[in-house]
Amino acid sequence: MKPAPFHYYRADSALAAVQAAAAPDWNGNARFLAGGQSLVPALSFRDIRPAVLVDIMHCPDLGRLDLADHGLVAGARCVQSEIECSVASRAVCPLLVDALRWVALPQIRNCGTVVGSLAQANPGAEIPVVAMALNATIEIMDVEGRRETIDAGKLFANQSGTFVGPAKLLTSAYFRALRHNEGWGFAEIQLRPGHYALVCAATAVVVSEGRVAETSISVGGLNSNPYRAASAEAFTLGRDILTDTWITEAARIAVDGSPWAARADQHASAEYRQAMAIIVVRDALRSAARRAQFAPRKGHG
Ligand SMILES: Cc1cc2nc3c(=O)[nH]c(=O)nc-3n(C[C@H](O)[C@H](O)[C@H](O)COP(=O)(O)OP(=O)(O)OC[C@H]3O[C@@H](n4cnc5c(N)ncnc54)[C@H](O)[C@@H]3O)c2cc1C
């Protein structure tokens, strides 16, 4: 199918974009156009019929990629492959780079943005899961040009989607660097390469004197939004990093502790997703623990 007719506005600044989207002519029915990789198919299927698309990819003040020792900032124009292919990004935030390799296909990652994926909040998307694991923070601009920073936990606090309405622009996302004594892991089950995750997990484990000192476990695909498995994280504390007997039990607790009922769709039943979620959490946690075991890494924190 072809999209329903719409107006197109090419914004030259972040504020111009937010104000154009909020103009009364559109009756609240405006959408920001970033990489278009989710938006254009939705238009073509006529799932959505916005009155106007506000193109944000030509706004010089919506940055691309900023790297620092403490982390990386993906501006709203930063495409996924920019981080995936950067050696420096891997040194700072290898968990995000590992997850990006699971996102769609290289051609899509060349156009799709990191921030657009957070805004889209697809249930099987990988980037929101990493954002949850690393407590990423997201900057949002309103129609007055005011900027607010919220953390990923708040962005994905609802059972599905984000609480940010289409009138607010996500201007950037900050992902912290992994620390020198921190290992990471990402695992996923998908129907075939290039598909969204049926289930996936992002984990990080900090080791101190041979024991687990801190753990992050984020689970995606099981529900409409990713969640942090707080009970499982607590269960791992103080565990011996050289053994992995606690890992399977932690994975079970992580999935049992889901805040929402598991979802079912044409690809998988809720029971199948739950069983597979235990496996991906276990695998991601094992990778993180192994990497932590061989810490310290050169570099950060
Ligand atoms: C065949 C195919 C397979 C895919 N597989 C995967 C996959 O496996 N995993 C995965 O994670 N993704 C997958 N994607 C989606 C892809 O990663 C998208 O690039 C991403 O979800 C959206 O990024 P975008 O820049 O293209 O956003 P767009 O498509 O331009 O926008 C998506 C939505 O977010 C809104 N939006 C975008 N940017 C902002 C912003 N800065 N502020 C506020 N709202 C904004 C738009 O208005 C729109 O509603 C797939 C896409 C395709 C076509």
| Angle between helix 245-256 and helix 270-293 axes, rounded to 10 deg | 140
Going by CA atoms, what residue is nearest to atom 37 of ligand 1? 116
Going by CA atoms, what residue is nearest to atom 43 of ligand 1? 169
Strands 227-228 and 211-220: antiparallel
Going by CA atoms, what residue is nearest to atom 33 of ligand 1? 120
Exposure string over 205-224, b if 16+ CB within 10 A, otherwise e: bbbeeeebbbbbbbbbbbbb
In what order do the strands lie in the sheet containing 52-55? 7-10, 52-55, 30-33
Best residue among 108, 129, 172 to mutate for probing ligand 1, ranked by most atoms within 8 Å of CB: 108
Give the separation between CA 149 and CA 128, rounded to whole angstroms: 16
125 phi, psi to nearest 5 deg: -80, 145
For residue 39, how far is its CA from the centre of ligand 1 (angstroms)? 7
- CATH node for 63-176: 3.30.465.10
Which atom belonging to ligand 1 lies closest to the Cα atom of 53? 47
pLDDT tens-digit profile, the chain (301 residues): 789 999 999 999 999 999 999 999 999 999 999 999 999 999 999 999 999 999 999 999 998 899 988 999 999 999 999 999 999 999 999 999 999 999 999 999 999 999 999 999 999 999 999 999 999 999 999 999 999 999 999 999 887 778 787 778 999 999 999 999 999 999 999 999 999 999 999 999 999 999 999 999 999 999 999 999 999 999 999 999 988 889 999 999 999 999 999 999 999 999 999 999 999 999 999 999 999 988 765 544 4
Q: Which residues pair with 148 in a beta bridge?
A: 140
User: What pTM was computed for the model?
Assistant: 0.96
Each domain of the chain, given as residue ranges in start order, spans 7-55, 63-176, 182-294
Instruction: Please name the amino acid found at residue 45.
Output: F
Distances 289 to 187, 208, 250, 257 between C-alpha atoms, Å = 13, 12, 12, 21
Give the separation between CA 150 and CA 2, rounded to whole angstroms: 36
Q: Which pLDDT tens digit goes with each residue over 132-168?
A: 999 999 999 999 999 999 999 999 988 777 878 777 8
Give the separation between CA 66 and CA 147, rounded to whole angstroms: 18
Instruction: Please name the amino acid found at residue 128.
Output: P
Topology of the domain covering 182-294: Enolase-like; domain 1 (3.30.390)
Give the separation between CA 192 and CA 102, rounded to whole angstroms: 11
Q: Which residues line the pocket of ligand 1, CB cutoff 6 A?
A: 31-39, 41, 56, 76, 103-104, 108, 112-113, 115-117, 119-120, 122, 125-127, 169-170, 194-196
Give the separation between CA 193 and CA 241, rounded to whole angstroms: 32
For residue 38, how far is its CA from the centre of ligand 1 (angstroms)? 4
Best residue among 10, 32, 48 to mutate for probing ligand 1, ranked by most atoms within 8 Å of CB: 32
Going by CA atoms, what residue is nearest to atom 1 of ligand 1? 104
Give the separation between CA 91 and CA 146, rounded to whole angstroms: 33
7-55 carries CATH number 3.30.43.10: yes
For residue 121, how far is its CA from the centre of ligand 1 (angstroms)? 8
Give the separation between CA 295 and CA 126, rounded to whole angstroms: 25
Give the separation between CA 210 and CA 247, rounded to whole angstroms: 15
> Other CB atoms closer than 10 Å to residue 50's CB: what's the count?
22
Domains 63-176 and 182-294 share a fold: no
Contact 194, 105 (CB under 8 A): yes
For residue 131, how far is its CA from the centre of ligand 1 (angstroms)? 15
- Containing 148, the helix (H) or strand (E) segment is strand 147-151
